[in-house]
């Protein structure tokens, strides 16, 4: 797919950011994207300012019934932040530029750190369901196939034409996350590894899982990478956390099947640990 230009002009992102700044006094330095079943983090904020996506000028709106989505400004553990409760997935049919629209708005709001969370399937045999994985690196499969959110005209006010990705996941923030996990008794279910994004919405075949393992991926999911690419382009520091909600099927004789209900059930259980971890981490930034 070729885009003549990027879908949105600099002024459009600016319109959204200016409107938000006129509506809230919050000036967060940290933005958090809540993954599937991890929206509870936004509920933990104090002094909330809530904006349903449909009320924010030029902001993408969810087409899926029951997935309204909202931007929540407030204080987490005393620190100002903004949470995306509900993200835009490529598999829902959004253009890749639409998926990442909020990240550039965060940048224009003055955000410096982006925390991304997601639910992912474990590929690494030593991972268990319920583990939390700190993302060390990613494999951008849609990018391999021409779906990179930076394709099209480059806007230098956001970043350079050919941005570096070898340092996508901030080393200092990762060290801080590991330290926090240890301090709060999460060490026994805390991993660090590589997240691979596929477009979805199908779960992986057995052959695909085996291929991804050989490529060096530890978990697989259907989000996060486009947002990280755009965040790094405009200089945001990134921290990523995956909750392992299922183990992928790697054996042809297995009668197990990936299903969304299993994912939601596990997420509910460990989501609280993950949310607490992020809240404790924020107070160290
Ligand atoms: C799987 O995870 C373990 C524990 O984090 C790690 O040591 C190993 O390198 C990972 N990869 C593979 C292919 O086992």
Q: Which residue has the higher pLDDT, 212 or 268?
A: 212
* CB of 214 sitting under 6 A from ligand 1: no
Give the per-residue pLDDT at 7: 84
User: What is the rounded CA–CA span in Å between residue 206 and residue 198?
Assistant: 14
Q: What is the pLDDT of residues 116-157, one digit of tens each?
A: 999 999 999 999 888 999 999 999 999 999 999 999 999 999
The CA distance from 191 to 201, in Å, is 25
Among the atoms of ligand 1, which is closest to the Cα of residue 192? 5
On the question of pLDDT at 3 being above 60, the answer is no
pLDDT averaged over the chain? 90
Beta-bridge partners for 189: none
Annotated catalytic residue 36: yes
* Residue 67 annotated among the catalytic residues of the structure: yes
Condensed to tens digits (0 to 9), the pLDDT of residues 148-201 reads 999 999 999 999 999 999 999 999 999 999 999 999 888 888 999 999 999 989
How many other CB atoms are there within 10 angstroms of residue 71's CB atom? 25
What is the tens place of the pLDDT at every residue in 61-115? 866 555 569 999 999 988 999 999 988 999 988 999 999 999 999 999 999 999 9
- The pLDDT value given to residue 42: 87
Q: What CATH number has the domain bearing residue 137?
A: 3.40.50.1580
Is there a contact between 33 and 87 (Cβ–Cβ < 8 Å)? Answer: yes
pLDDT over 90 (residue 247):
no
The pLDDT confidence band at residue 2, using thresholds 50, 70 and 90, is very low
pTM for the whole structure: 0.92
Tell me how many domains the chain contains. 1
Going from the Cα of 218 to the center of ligand 1, the distance in angstroms, rounded, reads 7
Query: Is there a cis peptide before residue 256, judged by omega within 30 degrees of 0?
Result: no
The string of pLDDT tens digits covering residues 23-56 is 999 999 999 999 877 888 888 899 999 999 999 9
Residue-level pLDDT at 1: 45
246 marked ligand binding residue = yes
Domain that holds residue 87: 4-283
Tokens of 15: 């319109």
- CB distance 245 to ligand 1 below 6 Å: no
Asked if 52 and 20 count as a contact pair (C-beta separation under 8 A), the reply is no
State yes or no: 223 annotated in a binding site. yes
Tokens standing for 119? 């639910």
Q: Is the CB of 131 under 6 A from ligand 1?
A: no
């Amino acid at each position: 797919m070729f885009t003549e230009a990027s879908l949105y002009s600099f002024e459009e992102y600016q319109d959204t950011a200016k409107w938000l700044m006129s509506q809230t006094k919050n000036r967060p330095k940290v933005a958090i994207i809540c993954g599937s079943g991890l929206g509870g983090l936004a509920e933990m904020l104090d002094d909330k300012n809530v904006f349903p996506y449909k009320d924010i000028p030029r902001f993408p709106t969810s087409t899926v019934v029951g997935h309204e989505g909202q931007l929540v400004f407030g204080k987490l553990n005393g620190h100002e932040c903004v949470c995306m409760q509900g993200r835009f997935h490529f598999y829902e049919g959004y253009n890749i530029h639409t998926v990442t629209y909020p990240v550039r708005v965060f940048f224009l709001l003055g955000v410096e750190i982006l925390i991304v969370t997601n639910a992912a399937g474990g590929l690494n045999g030593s991972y268990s369901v319920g583990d939390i994985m700190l993302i060390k690196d990613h494999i951008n499969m849609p990018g391999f196939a021409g779906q990179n959110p930076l394709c099209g005209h480059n806007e230098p006010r956001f970043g350079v034409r050919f941005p570096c990705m070898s340092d996508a996941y901030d080393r200092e923030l990762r060290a801080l996350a590991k330290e926090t996990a240890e301090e709060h008794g999460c060490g026994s279910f805390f991993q660090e590894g590589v997240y691979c994004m596929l477009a979805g919405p199908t779960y992986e075949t057995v052959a695909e899982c085996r291929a991804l393992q050989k490529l060096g991926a530890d978990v697989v999911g259907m989000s996060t990478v486009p947002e990280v690419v755009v965040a790094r382009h405009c200089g945001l520091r990134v921290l990523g956390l995956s909750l392992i909600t299922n183990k992928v099927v790697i054996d042809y004789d297995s009668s197990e099947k990936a299903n969304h209900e299993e994912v939601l059930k596990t997420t509910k259980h460990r989501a609280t640990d993950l949310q607490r971890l992020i809240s404790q981490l924020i107070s160290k930034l």
